[in-house]
Amino acid sequence: MSISVRNNTVTSARRVYPALTPAVALVALLAGCTVGPDFKAPDAPVASGYTEGPALRSTVAADGTVQTIDGEARLPADWWHLFDCPALDGLVRQGLADSPSLAATEATLRQAQDTLKAGEGIFWPQVDAGADMARQRESRNAAGGARQGAFNLFTLSASVSYALDIFGGEHRRVEGLAAQVDYQRNAMRAAALTLATTLVDTAIASAAYDAQIEATVAIVALEREQVRLAIVHATAGTAGQAAVLSLRAQLEATEASLPGLRQKQAQARHLMAVLVGRLPADWQPPFLSFSELTLPRSLPLSLPSALVRQRPDILQAESALHAASAAIGVATAALLPSVTLDGSFGVSSTSSDTLFQAGSGVWSVGAGVAQPIFNGGALSYQRQAAIDAYDAAAAAYRQTVLNAFQQVADVLRALEHDAESLALLEQAEKTAGAALALTQANFAAGLAAQADVLVADVQYRTAKLSVIAARASRYQDTVALFAALGGGWWNAPAADH
């Protein structure tokens, strides 16, 4: 059964598996088949690329770096090493080792694996042993009642039972449990990717907040000097009070931005502490600056057909679809006869001395067949509900694929446009720097006032503030691309998969 993302259609299990008829049940009984659909992974969507228009080949040069898209490049599982920052590597390593949320997903995976092993026990005969010692007395008045008093009865027995999985219902049940293991395995991969992505993203944001706070503090100092000079001029009668108030309002607005930046910085530090399994009060994050980070120049890009085999969320949705498919088989088998083989053997005697003597042996062998006859349509509706659940899982899978392609497309455009934005802001910074240098030269030559120098300096530092934010966005776009492609887990050593 397949889902066509390209044609926006989902093949419905309702149409492929109509209601069972007695003839179908008889044929299935004679053939000893496994009822229900055999799961087939959905086909990858047919797409020539991720975005409309020409595909991105490289970004413009910004911050001295051109990023190039390389379809042959390999995305490593430890992709954060591409930023060439030991402090960042240590932060992610600590998070992957100590995060409680990641430990929870690992435990859930082990639970699913153990549940699968428990479910596989149905394919083996169930053997039980028992020992019983009782003192009893038979009724003398009952028909055929024995004319004797109380007596002892010693019994040792073993029983064997085996359920014949003629229609494969148990095989489908175990198939569903195996799909749940796959689901939890990919949930663990998704959790590890989210953890690493959030840590790197937050560390970059923290570096940006540090730089923005430093730049803003410098601007505040300059604007205070502007206010001081304006007051001097107003006192001397060479400037009006309106100029003082205007400059003071600008100063107060700049000062008001600092608490917000410091709050964001604190939240980033607290988040990193929690992600590495520490209390915010007991852990200090490593200090990072942009000078310690290297922007990767070569960016991998998976083929659209490969994306569905790489992203953990898509693989999770596929596992959920597989489990729903297996549930149809389980519900179908519940409509059909079940066959059980039973046997027991042992010894029984009124005296322990004769328990193992000839004539004490007891045994029984039998077979049982059970066929649901009437249950108010409950079993049929349960099967129909399983088909409905499959249709829902199929739609959820398709939506997950669409979301994944959107994320990759968004990131590619962000890489392109944020590089352009950074390049323009850097040019604005250079222009403001040149204006500052010229104004300082004019001031030294007596051709400009000190107030003019302060204005030019504020403009220059404000331009630097914009560059800091744009630079952080470019780093975070790169992180987002690595996450959107699935994080490279398939390139890890086999033992780490």
Q: What average pLDDT score do residues 102-128 get?
A: 94
Which pLDDT does position 434 carry in this prediction? 97
Q: How far apart are CA 70 and CA 247, in angstroms?
A: 51
Six-digit token pair at 85? Answer: 């920052």
* CB hemisphere CA count around 451 (13 angstroms): 13
The pLDDT of residue 73 is above 50 = yes
Band the pLDDT of 355: cuts 50, 70, 90: confident
Q: How far apart are CA 248 and CA 164, in angstroms?
A: 87
| DSSP for residue 50 | S
Average pLDDT of the residues of the chain: 89
Which pLDDT does position 143 carry in this prediction? 58
Q: How far apart are CA 166 and CA 169, in angstroms?
A: 8
Write out pLDDT tens, residues 393-430: 999 999 999 999 999 999 999 999 999 999 999 999 99
Q: Is 368 exposed, middle or buried (0-12, 13-18, 19+ CB in 10 A)?
A: exposed
Band the pLDDT of 497: cuts 50, 70, 90: low
Give the bridge partners for 135, in sequence order.
152
Write out pLDDT tens, residues 246-289: 999 999 999 999 999 999 999 999 999 999 999 999 999 888 89
The pLDDT of residue 1 is above 80 = no
pLDDT above 70 coverage of the chain, percent: 91
The total number of residues shown for the chain amounts to: 497
Q: How far apart are CA 240 and CA 223, in angstroms?
A: 17
Which pLDDT does position 135 carry in this prediction? 84
Which pLDDT does position 144 carry in this prediction? 59
Q: Closest by alpha carbon to 186, among 310, 301, 324, 95?
A: 310
Which pLDDT does position 7 carry in this prediction? 33
Which pLDDT does position 354 carry in this prediction? 82
Six-digit token pair at 23? Answer: 């003839």
Which pLDDT does position 28 carry in this prediction? 46
The pLDDT of residue 223 is above 60 = yes
Q: Residue 480: phi, psi to the nearest 5?
A: -60, -35
| DSSP for residue 85 | -
Band the pLDDT of 361: cuts 50, 70, 90: confident
Question: Lowest-confidence range among 148-152, 323-327, 359-363, 381-385?
Answer: 148-152
Which pLDDT does position 9 carry in this prediction? 33
Torsion, Cα 201 204 205 209, to 10 degrees, reads: 170
Write out pLDDT tens, residues 31-66: 457 899 999 999 999 888 899 888 889 999 998 999
Six-digit token pair at 321? Answer: 């679809």
Band the pLDDT of 14: cuts 50, 70, 90: very low
Map tokens 């987002």 to a residue: 480
Residues in contact with 6: Cβ distance below 8 Å, sequence separation at least 6, in sequence order: 45, 46, 47
Q: How far apart are CA 71 and CA 280, in angstroms?
A: 41
Residues in contact with 104: Cβ distance below 8 Å, sequence separation at least 6, in sequence order: none
Domains of the chain: 3-123+167-337+385-496 (1.20.1600.10)
Q: How far apart are CA 82 and CA 296, in angstroms?
A: 6
Q: Is 342 exposed, middle or buried (0-12, 13-18, 19+ CB in 10 A)?
A: middle
Q: Is 249 exposed, middle or buried (0-12, 13-18, 19+ CB in 10 A)?
A: exposed
Six-digit token pair at 194? Answer: 């989210």
Q: Are 440 and 496 within 8 A, CB to CB?
A: no
The pLDDT of residue 196 is above 80 = yes
Q: Are 158 and 298 within 8 A, CB to CB?
A: no
Which pLDDT does position 16 carry in this prediction? 42
Query: Which string of DSSP letters, residue by residue, matches 397-464?
Result: HHHHHHHHHHHHHHHHHHHHHHHHHHHHHHHHHHHHHHHHHHHHHHHHTTSS-HHHHHHHHHHHHHHH
SS3 assignment for 327-364: HHHHHHHCCCCEEEEEEEEEEEECCHHHCCCCCCEEEE
What does each C-alpha distance from 233 to 228, 239, 250, 434, 459 come to in angstroms? 9, 5, 18, 27, 22
Q: Are 60 and 66 within 8 A, CB to CB?
A: yes
Question: Lowest-confidence range among 112-126, 229-243, 440-454?
Answer: 229-243
| DSSP for residue 37 | P
Six-digit token pair at 64? Answer: 């001295």
Write out pLDDT tens, residues 153-189: 888 889 999 999 999 999 999 999 999 999 999 999 9
Is the entire prediction scored with pTM above 0.95? no
Which pLDDT does position 32 carry in this prediction? 53
What does each C-alpha distance from 335 to 68, 166, 174, 332 come to in angstroms? 59, 12, 18, 6
Which pLDDT does position 145 carry in this prediction? 58
